[in-house]
Structure 1
Amino acid sequence: MTIWLPLLTLICSLIIGIPIYICMMVAGGVYFFINPSVGTFVIPQLINAGIMKFSLLAVPFFILSGVCMNTTGITKRLMNFCETLVGHLSGGLAHVNILLSTLMGGLSGSNIADAAMEAKMIVPEMEERGFSKAYSSVITACSALITPIIPPGVGMILYAFIADVSVGKMFMAGFLPGILMCLEQMALNSFISKRRGYTPIREKRASIKEIVKTGRTSILALFFPVIIIVGIRFGVFTATEAGAIAVVYAVVLGLIFYHEAKVIDIFSALNDTALTACTSIMIFGSANVFAWYVTNEKISDYIAVIILNNVGSPYMFMFLFILVCIFLGLFLDGTTIMIILIPLLLPAAQSMNIDLIYFGIIFLLCSAVGNITPPVGVVMYAVCDITKTKVKDFTIEALPFYVVMMLNILILAALPGLVMYLPNLFK
């Protein structure tokens, strides 16, 4: 019974609302306390080992590149490009919102940053054009969930680090699910917009000449994720080096090509990045303490045996995995679920010959749903706070989108070949 005490401590700590890095530190400390032969002096060494890893530098680098991208005028140019492409459709501005989030996924990699930015920039204009405040907020929040699925999402880097899989393959696997999410949300928006009479923002479809003209101003931004993915996938640079290149690319783009960023903006971006990245680093330091307990007591092996003895097929395992992730997403954020759940279930997934890249994409899709569901939907609360929308109104308007996202997860879970098509194509 005592070997399960640290795990129970972790669960109870999370329930009462203690920050995740403190929860894992306390749980790990409990293990060392009840096993004095191990020695508590190991804890600082484990924390240091957890954060002193070269691959983890990719996280602050990509966060910084995303912050820099948002201060260089790229968003404005991309929005004009999106308007040219889809502004003629019913509910045109909502389509622009969705498509912009998809394109921003290749730049910022942060759904909260993307949602906050679009809530300030697009929602007021959507309201002026007749969209309800709640629907505008829902479109903004739901489309922002595409952002971490389109590479180079930070969540993909963290999962690759935990599961010890290729970051490049994770990036490649995210393209098709991200594009599918975009198309599904646009289809649902078209249906709702026609029923409610939400009008286009352009009188007619843009000509090829007009698309080329607006696309020319965005080509440097659109080319950015291609450089990153191709470079990592073909071994030109590592994920960490790609993050550093991304920062340089963003700064050069803003200071030299677009002339919309100042040196002072770079210092502000560094400050924002430090605040965000430090949280991730603290989590990984404390997670290494907890992971030592899980490994030393073979907790993952126990869970794998239980699953293999009671679950008949990989499809049943994935179905139960999806249900658990969706349920936990109601109460915990995606990073917390990833750090706790993924290491426990990886041995079972490997025993069932489930590809860990595919496993990670399904997890990221499931954890995304929790970001827009009460009571802890961080993206939902961020958007509602900016737009002054009641959570109740948001939840009611979001119901069709919940259904579409669940169908999307089930389709991709049932068709692993669709997720793995691009990674397998570029072996």
Structure 2
Amino acid sequence: MSGVVFLILLLLGLPLAFTLIASGMVYFAQNPELPTAVAVQRMVAASQSFPLLAVPFFILAGHVMNCSGITKRLIHVSNLLVAWISGGLAHVTIVLSALMGGVSGSAIADAAMQARILGEPMQASGLSKGFSAATITVSALITACIPPSIGLILYGYMGNVSIGKLFLAGLIPGLLLTLVLMLVVYLQARKKGFAPTQANPPSFKQILEAINQSKWALLFPVLLIVTIRFGIFTPSEAGAFAVLYACVVGRFAYRELTLSDITTSLSESVSDIGMIMLIILASGVVGYAIAYEQLPVSLTLAVTQVTEQPQLILLMALAILLVVGVVMEGTITVLLLTPILVPLMQSVGVDPVHFGILMLIMVTLGGTTPPVGIAMYAVCNILRCSTTDYVKAAVPLFIAVLALVVVLALYPPLVLFIPELLF
């Protein structure tokens, strides 16, 4: 009954947090042996986690970066490096996704931000609306696995997996995603006759000058990974450091961050943080119901009766995540399904770090596909692009991403090489 309530409220457009709370309370009402006070206790308990402090800090850091000049300089470096390739600004948005990481906490927010910044210039450079929208939306997949992805932090918290290992494990898949998407965009741009926005590649001197101007922005992800790997900061402390770093760089290095900007960043962050944390609290109630019903155990038994091959089970789980990701935002999918799927993966011998990277890519990909992809509609609305044009341009990108995910699933060392080397 609670599952039916959840689906009905979701289809009616009720905010996800309230949908979760309502369906969770229906479950408790159906089971009189469970005191309602337990639901409240689980909501409170869901917030009592030190690693969760990383979430609001990184979200605030993302907003401060946009105001401090860091994002602007990352766009400049990206443009210089790849605007001379066929497809021009389409490559810029891909490289920018790789440089930014998922600091906003949502691939949808990252895609929307890039659509507002690069959407019109991409079309003005000769790229079609559908091609521009598809590239911006699908490139947001990169932010799902490049640190400091909020999705990886939430997965690590819900699945009791090392966040430091997840950050390192996302580097190679993130780089491969970047290269694969750039290759597809290049081939499609040549096929459609889209000219580059710069006639010639940059000189070595120009690259050095751009890197020097943007060194503080480019140093951010390096410092993040190094400090977490060597135990200088926990992920939560790294989030606080990220906020301080963005403020110091914006105020004293780039001299662009003002008190008004900080106030605006705080205001916008409060809204984003409140939404995400309310979903996390609500997921505590649903998570308790999942554990009480022993759904992970039941799912494990059901799947292992079909096949005991770990790779087949992994591919089945990824297919399920793609379908779920179409109708639900990535954050809520991670919060709901991680407690169910991680025990299943561990029971058949799949490394939870390996699975976490693939899970984040698949749930994010779901948001970029029809019929209910949330990121797709967000970007198409901003660029005033029809869904038909978007889908036509996005199909080659979808095929390339799915092919890469299969390769990553069947060859775990591509994901686990760095964390196993450094931990």
2:94 matched residue in structure 1: 98
Q: Which residue of 2 aligns with 1:19?
A: 15
Q: 1:379: which partner in 2?
A: 375
* Matches for 1:328-367 after TM superposition, within 5 Å: 328-367=324-363
Q: Does 1:162 align with 2:186?
A: no
The separation in 2 between residues aligned to 1:89 and 1:146, in whole angstroms, is 20
Which position in structure 1 is the counterpart of 2:44? 48
Q: Which amino acid aligns with 2:179?
A: L
Distance across 2 between alignment mates of 1:294 and 1:167: 23
Structure 1 residue aligned with 2:415: 419
Matches within 5 A, 1:289-368: 289-368=285-364
- The TM-score, its normalising length taken from structure 1, stands at 0.94
Q: 1:297 to 1:193 in 2, by over 3 A?
A: closer
* 1:118-157 matches, cutoff 5 A: 118-157=114-153
- Matched to 2:24, the amino acid is G
Post-superposition offset of 1:259 = 1.2
The 5-angstrom pairing of residues 199-238 of structure 1 reads: 199-238=195-234
Q: How does 1:237-248 map to 2 (within 5 A)?
A: 237-248=233-244
2:67 match: secondary structure: coil
Structure 2: tracts of 5 or more residues without a match: none
Count of equivalent residues:
423
| Post-superposition offset of 1:160 | 0.4
| Paired letter, 1:122 | L
* Alignment correspondent of 1:397: 393
- After TM superposition, give the deviation of residue 114 of structure 1 in Å: 2.7
For the Cα contact (< 8 Å) 2:63–2:265, is it kept in 1? yes
Q: CA deviation at 1:132?
A: 1.0
Q: Tell me, in whole angstroms, the C-alpha distance in 2 between the residues paired with 1:340 and 1:285.
A: 12
Residue 54 of structure 2: aligned partner: 58
- 8 Å CA contact retained: 1:107, 1:225: no
2: CA distance, partners of 1:79 / 1:293: 45
The question of 1:174 aligning with 2:170 is answered yes
Cα distance, 1:302 vs. partner? 1.6
Does the residue aligned with 1:222 lie in a helix, a strand or coil?
helix
The whole-number CA distance in structure 2 between the counterparts of 1:403 and 1:425 is: 31
**Secondary structure class of the residue paired with 1:186:** helix
The yes-or-no answer on 1:112 pairing with 2:108 is: yes
One-letter identity of the residue aligned with 1:398: A
Give the whole-Å Cα distance in 2 for the aligned partners of 1:303 and 1:7.
Answer: 16
Amino acid at match of 1:111: A
- Tell me the distance in 1 between the aligned counterparts of 2:289 and 2:367: 29
Q: In 2, are the aligned partners of 1:69 and 1:108 still within 8 Å (CA)? A: no
1:34 maps onto 2:37 in alignment: no
Alignment CA distance shift 1:136-1:38 (3 Å): closer
Q: Please state how far the C-alpha of 1:109 moved relative to its aligned partner.
A: 5.4
TM-score of the aligned structures, taking structure 2 as reference length? 0.95
79-88 vs 278-287, which moves further: 79-88
CA distance in 1 between counterparts of 2:57 and 2:249 reads: 16
Structure 1 residues 399 and 351: alpha-carbon distance in aligned structure 2, compared to 1, 3 A threshold: same
Equivalent position of 1:369 in the other structure: 365
> Percent identity among equivalent residues?
38
Partners in 2 of 1:113 and 1:31 — Cα distance? Answer: 32
Give the direction of change, closer, same or farther, for the CA distance of 1:21–1:213 in structure 2 (3 Å limit).
same
Contact conserved, 2:354 with 2:416, CA < 8 A, in 1?
yes
Asked if the contact 1:61–1:244 (Cα under 8 Å) also holds between the matched residues in 2, the reply is yes
C-alpha distance in 2, partners of 1:173/1:42? 36
Residue 323 of structure 1: how far off its partner (Å): 1.3
Residue deviations 1:73-114 (CA, integer Å, cap 9, x gap)? 222222221222222222222222211221122755542333
Aligned partner letter, 2:94: I
In structure 1, the gaps of 5 or more residues are none
- Asked if structure 2 preserves the Cα contact closer than 8 Å seen for 1:141 and 1:383, the reply is yes
On the 8 A contact 1:109/1:150 being kept in 2, the answer is: no
Letter of the 1:81 counterpart: V
Separation of aligned partners in 2, 1:369 and 1:195: 25
Change (3 A) 1:415 1:160: same
Contact 2:73–2:217 under 8 Å retained in 1: no
Match of 2:68, SS state, is: coil
- Structure 2 residue 192 is the aligned partner of structure 1 residue 183: no
Compute the displacement of 1:36 (Å): 2.4
Partner amino acid, structure 2, of 1:222: L
